[in-house]
Amino acid sequence: MPKHTTCHTPMDNLVGKSYKFEDGSSITVTQIKDRDEGVKLVTYHIQQGPGIPRKLVMTLDEFVSTFGHLFRPKKEKD
């Protein structure tokens, strides 16, 4: 069972979570780090086709507004 930690936002528990699209592409969150002035950065991989996954980084706020709907529990999607 995962260790309980205090989260600053509901999306802080994304590390290790993946979402697979109908076409087989996927997005996987690999880490969330605190940076200067309280900014959180999300590192994630995008896998499209058989190639090597692309590693991308964006702020937590930007990630949540762009991809957050994919990682919410199903009851919140409706």
Place of tokens 């090597």: 52
Q: pTM score, two decimals?
A: 0.74
Say if CB 27 and CB 78 are below 8 A apart: no
Give the contacts of 17 (CB within 8 A, at least 6 positions apart).
Answer: 28, 29, 71
Would you kindly state where each structural domain of the chain is located, as residue ranges? 10-73
**CA separation for the pair 67, 37 (Å, rounded):** 23
pLDDT band of 4, cuts 50, 70, 90? very low
DSSP three-state, residue 11 = helix
**CA separation for the pair 72, 10 (Å, rounded):** 9
Question: Is the pLDDT score of 23 beyond 70?
Answer: yes
**CA separation for the pair 29, 71 (Å, rounded):** 10
Question: Is the pLDDT score of 76 beyond 60?
Answer: no
Region 56-78 average pLDDT: 83
Question: Is the pLDDT score of 59 beyond 50?
Answer: yes
